[in-house]
């Protein structure tokens, strides 16, 4: 885990990048920026869910940046995921780049009443929303879907890709996220499977409900 000096050029470039992300988040839901050159270059990026209004986007990005300041102020790179947005800074390339790592999976498991039919409904719903996200006219690369498997239980799925990667890269990223979902017939879960380039979120819960927000910070 690499630390950086608070009085060095790399740290100054982190501050510059985070300031740019803050300022832009009230204008757009997706933004790449950088500061510095050579080994001191820092690249920054955020993207908000396409169905989020700009006020909520700015709030999510600002919350992430506050967390960076509290937890990651001396770290060379960091990433935070929320249900509404992803924010990162790094010395790696982020623009138009398929990134499946670092990744995060979070799940809470519980029984479903019809384990005999649930896996088919889950798989069909995921296939449908991924197909919608990958439609060429869907420039947001975002889709949701739901289905029911009893009168009181439903399944919710949401997928989204960062908008500057190619469709085939989006598919690769979503397929990778789905492959990290544990197999199981007798239980299901609220689960987030995230990478810097794509998010898969699924939940078996009461009909049309959505899972709660979570956050995870990765430090390198």
Q: Which pLDDT score, from 0 to 100, does residue 107 have?
A: 58
What pLDDT, on the 0 to 100 scale, is given for residue 160? 83
Q: How confident is the model at residue 188 (pLDDT cuts 50, 70, 90)?
A: very low
Q: Which of 188, 184, 189, 182 is nearest to 212 (CA)?
A: 189
pLDDT value at position 48? Answer: 92
Q: Do domains 9-90 and 104-212 have the same CATH topology?
A: yes
Average pLDDT over residues 96-113: 58
Pair of tokens at residue 203: 């939940």
The fold for domain 104-212 equals Killer Toxin P4; Chain A (3.30.430)
Distance CA 42, CA 92 (A): 8
Compare 17 and 157 and report the one with higher pLDDT.
17
pLDDT at 186 over 50: no
- 14 versus 161: the higher-pLDDT residue is 14
* pLDDT given at position 210: 43
What is the pTM for the complete model shown?
A: 0.76
**Domain covering 9-90 assigned CATH 3.30.430.20 in the classification:** yes
pLDDT of residue 215: 36
| b/e 158-187 (16+ beta carbons within 10 angstroms → b) | bbbbbebbeeebbbbbbebbbebbeeeeee
Buried b (16+ CB within 10 A) or exposed e, 15-54: ebbbebbbebbeeebbbbbbbbeeebbbbbbbbbbbebee
Task: Inform me whether the pLDDT recorded for 161 exceeds 50.
Answer: yes
pLDDT at position 175 is: 82
So what's the pLDDT on residue 190? 44
Q: What residues form DSSP beta bridges with 154? A: 148, 205
Per-residue pLDDT, averaged over 61-69, amounts to: 90
Q: What is the pLDDT of residue 164?
A: 80
Residues 49, 127, 106: CA angle, nearest 5 degrees: 55
Specify which of 62-71, 106-115, 168-177, 179-188 reaches the highest per-range mean pLDDT.
Answer: 62-71
Query: Which contiguous run of DSSP H or E holds residue 131?
Result: helix 118-133
| Residues of the chain above pLDDT 90, percent | 27
Token pair, residue 97, equals 């780049």
* Contact yes or no for 133/102 (Cβ under 8 A): no
38/3: higher pLDDT: 38
- Residue ranges per structural domain of the chain: 9-90, 104-212
User: Which stretch of 59-63, 90-94, 103-107, 177-181 has the lowest confidence by average pLDDT?
Assistant: 103-107
Taking 90 as the threshold, does the pLDDT of residue 159 lie above it? Answer: no
């Amino acid at each position: 885990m690499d630390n950086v000096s608070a009085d060095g050029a790399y740290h100054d470039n982190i501050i510059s990048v985070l300031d740019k992300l803050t300022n832009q988040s009230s204008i757009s839901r997706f933004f790449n920026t950088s500061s510095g050159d050579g080994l001191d270059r820092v690249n920054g990026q955020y993207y908000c869910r396409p169905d989020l209004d700009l006020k909520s986007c700015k709030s999510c990005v600002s919350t992430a940046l506050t967390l960076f300041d509290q937890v990651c102020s001396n770290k060379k790179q960091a990433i935070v995921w929320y249900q509404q947005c992803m924010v990162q800074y790094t010395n790696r390339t982020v623009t138009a780049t398929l990134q499946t790592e670092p990744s995060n999976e979070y799940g809470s498991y519980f029984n479903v009443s019809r384990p005999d039919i649930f896996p088919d409904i889950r798989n069909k719903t995921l296939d449908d929303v991924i197909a919608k996200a990958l439609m060429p006219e869907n420039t947001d690369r975002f889709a949701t879907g739901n289905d029911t498997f009893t009168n009181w239980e439903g399944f919710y799925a949401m997928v989204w890709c960062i908008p500057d990667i190619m469709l085939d890269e989006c598919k690769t990223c979503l397929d990778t996220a789905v492959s990290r979902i544990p197999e199981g017939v007798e239980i299901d879960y609220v689960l987030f499977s995230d990478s810097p380039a794509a998010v898969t979120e699924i939940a078996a819960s009461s009909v049309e409900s959505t899972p709660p927000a979570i956050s995870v910070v990765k430090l390198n």
